[in-house]
Structure 1
Amino acid sequence: MQGSIAIDQSPGVQYLLRIGDTCLILGQRIAEWSGHAPILEEDIAMSNMALDLIGQARAVLTHAGQLEGKGHDEDQLAFLRDEKDYRNLTLVELPRGDFAFTVLRNAMVATWMKLLWERLRDSGDAELAGIAGKAIKEARYHQQHAADWVVRLGDGTDESRQRIEKALRELWLYVPELFESDAVDDAAQAQGLGPRWADLREPWLAEMDTILDEATLSRPDETAFRSTGKRGVHTEHMGYILAEMQHLQRAFPGGVW
């Protein structure tokens, strides 16, 4: 079996891993809808959005490997790390859930990613700015697509409303992690790499309030609970994702098609 690689702990690399890993793991979750979506059009849409996110992850992880300078490529970073070395938001590793859970999570993360990519277009890192310039277009589509579904479910049948309200209560617990800043964020801002995530909070809430208002949904109150995925402390669900993702690479080191 292929052993795990050690990861550089420098703030710049960690900042990029937080972005790349969040795209990677959400892409895996959305891909689980392939062949299972409620209508054919959504089956195709979900698959395409998963591919967009995997593409964003590839670009960011490739750049993280270059910045790290240890010769790690996108595949090694995606498939050969231990669980504790992944820096994705906890929100994206939660189980797929039903369709209401999925589209609401997509709306929440796409809104956050759109705001982040917008700011990363002005990054002092030219490569990251270029990645953001392409990714922003995809994030805008993801946000609009998911928001349209949130509105349809919130303002739909009794059943659809119950499901989207349940999803909102469950998912909102993980929102604070999106906007917690730490030394990694401070260093990224000081170096001109990217913004502190806390700076995205107010514009994100404003855009989410617009979506929720149109869906006739109320924003839940924030609780004291704090998730810790971007610091490498994950839920029990993360191990199952990695076991599926990493099996071939671990079992057949260096294997190619």
Structure 2
Amino acid sequence: MSDDHVYMTLAEGHEDDTRWAYGTGFEDPLHGVDTTVPDGVDRAGLAALCLALADDALIGAQRLAEWTTRAPELEEEVALANIGLDLLGQARLLYARCGQVDGTDQGEDAYAYFRDPDAFRNVRLTELPNGDFAFSIVRLLVFSSWRLAHFTELSSAPDPVLAAIAAKGVKELAYHRQYAAEWAVRLGDGTDESHARMRAALDALAPYWPELFAAYDARDAVLADLRQVLDAAGLPLPEAEALPGNGRDGDRTEHLAPLLAELQSVARAHPEATW
């Protein structure tokens, strides 16, 4: 099997693979953008959307950071860390916009470090522990496919700041999806052990997918992406009933609190510190 061009058809339209996390071609996505909230835009709704998308990215980035020193190979450790940096960059921009429009004027640190778990609005898929490499690859594939569809639509949002953030994110997320897809095919079409682990990961994560589509309904596009990848990997697309609750409504798993305790520990111990 050759995986040199796996998923290339899904990359069509995203040929510019400039990625800030890799230190190439960085431009301020908000340079020259009018930050005034346009007339007719629901400020509360805009703030809630920015907060939720930022929470998704922050928690997803923290889980990816946990692979540092633990990934199967050094190259994958670097790749996962850089994908996490992309998501962290998205979170920072979205938190900043939230603070501009929700009436609080809070900075990004206030949202990331000084909220308790029940105040977070991320989809629960992002807060699950990493599991093995197959589990993290399946999660990244599903999450990046869904977020890419969402950001593609948001790139023409009426709020110019959100549109600019989304347009930058589209380029990053196209790479995230491609990276995960290529690994999904390698593992699914690899050894009996890697195939079995991919199947187990798909079955474990499938109950969390409906929550993504409740937050933003890109079901047809995401499932088409997954079918293309899973067919190449020789893996079935699982079906599962949705779990009760919804992360967007503040429902959490048992795993978010310890993740935030680690993420927020330094900032809460030294709340006025600067570095």
TM-score of the pair, normalised by structure 2: 0.82
User: What is the distance in 1 between the residues matched to 2:272 and 2:205?
Assistant: 38
CA distance in 1, matches of 2:146, 2:200: 21
How many angstroms does 1:222 deviate by?
Answer: 2.6
2:202 aligned with 1:153:
no
**What is the rounded CA distance, in whole Å, between the counterparts of 1:69 and 1:12 in structure 2?**
12
Among candidates 44, 56, 65, match of residue 31 of structure 1: 65
Determine if contact 1:174/1:226 at 8 Å carries over to the other structure: no
Quote how far apart the aligned CAs of 1:12 are: 2.4
Matched, 1:144 2:178: yes
- Structure 1 residue 224: Cα displacement: 4.4
CA contact (8 A) 1:21 1:57 kept: yes
Q: Structure 1's 227 and 219: CA in aligned 2 closer, same or farther, altered over 3 A?
A: farther
Q: Which residue number corresponds to residue 180 of structure 1?
A: 214
Q: Distance in 2 between matches of 1:44 and 1:224?
A: 34
Q: Amino acid of the residue matched to residue 258 of structure 2? A: Y
Runs of 4 or more off by more than 6 Å in structure 1?
none
Taking the aligned partners of 2:70 and 2:268, their CA distance within structure 1 comes to 28
Q: 2:246 aligns with which of 220, 228, 231?
A: 228
| Count, aligned residues | 233
Q: Over residues 200-242 of structure 1, what are the superposed CA-to-partner deviations in whole Å (9 max), with x where a residue is unaligned?
A: 1111111111111111111111314234212111000000011
Instruction: Give the aligned partner of residue 88 of structure 1.
Output: 122
**CA contact 1:103–1:146 (8 Å) conserved in 2:** yes
- Residue number in structure 2 paired with 1:169: 203
**Which residue among 219, 238, 244 is the counterpart of 1:201?**
219
**For the Cα contact (< 8 Å) 1:20–1:58, is it kept in 2?**
yes
Q: Determine the C-alpha separation between the residues in 2 that align with 1:133 and 1:252.
A: 35
Instruction: Note the alpha carbon deviations across 1:114-139, whole angstroms, 9 max, x for none.
Output: 11110011000000000111111000
Q: Which one of the candidate residues 203, 212, 215 is aligned to 2:230?
A: 212
Q: CA deviation at 1:142?
A: 0.3
8 Å contact 1:90–1:227 — kept in the other structure?
A: no
- Alignment partner of 1:246 is 2:269: no
The separation in 2 between residues aligned to 1:41 and 1:120, in whole angstroms, is: 32
2:131 to 97, 102, 106: 97
Distance 2:254 2:172 in 1: 30
Match of 1:187? none
Deviations 1:57-80 (A, max 9, x none): 001111011111212111111111
Contact conserved, 1:174 with 1:227, CA < 8 A, in 2?
A: no
Distance across 2 between alignment mates of 1:225 and 1:134: 32
How far apart in 1 are the matches of 2:96 and 2:168?
15
1:191 is matched with which residue?
none
One-letter identity of the residue aligned with 2:269? A
The CA RMSD over aligned residues, in Å, is 1.2
Is the Cα–Cα contact under 8 Å of residues 176 and 226 in structure 1 kept in the other structure? Answer: no
Distance 1:164 1:205, change over 3 A: same
**Corresponding residue number in structure 2 for 1:192:** none
Say whether the 8 Å CA contact 1:18–1:88 is kept in structure 2. yes
CA distance in 2 between partners of 1:179 and 1:206 (Å): 14
Partner of 2:40: none
Contact 2:207 2:241 in 1 (8 A): yes
SS at match of 1:254: coil
1:207 partner SS: helix
2:52 maps to which of 13, 18, 27: 18
Matches of 2:244 and 2:181 in 1, distance apart?
A: 25
Tell me: CA distance 1:127–1:224, structure 2 relative to 1, closer, same or farther (3 Å). closer
Give TM-score, length-normalised by structure 1. 0.88
Q: Deviations over 1:88-107 (max 9, x none)?
A: 01000000110000111001
Separation in structure 2 between the aligned mates of residue 217 and residue 226 of structure 1, nearest angstrom: 27
In the alignment, the residues of structure 2 paired with residue 202 and residue 40 of structure 1 have an alpha-carbon distance, to the nearest angstrom, of 35
SS at match of 1:233: coil
- Contact preservation (8 Å) 2:211, 2:242: no
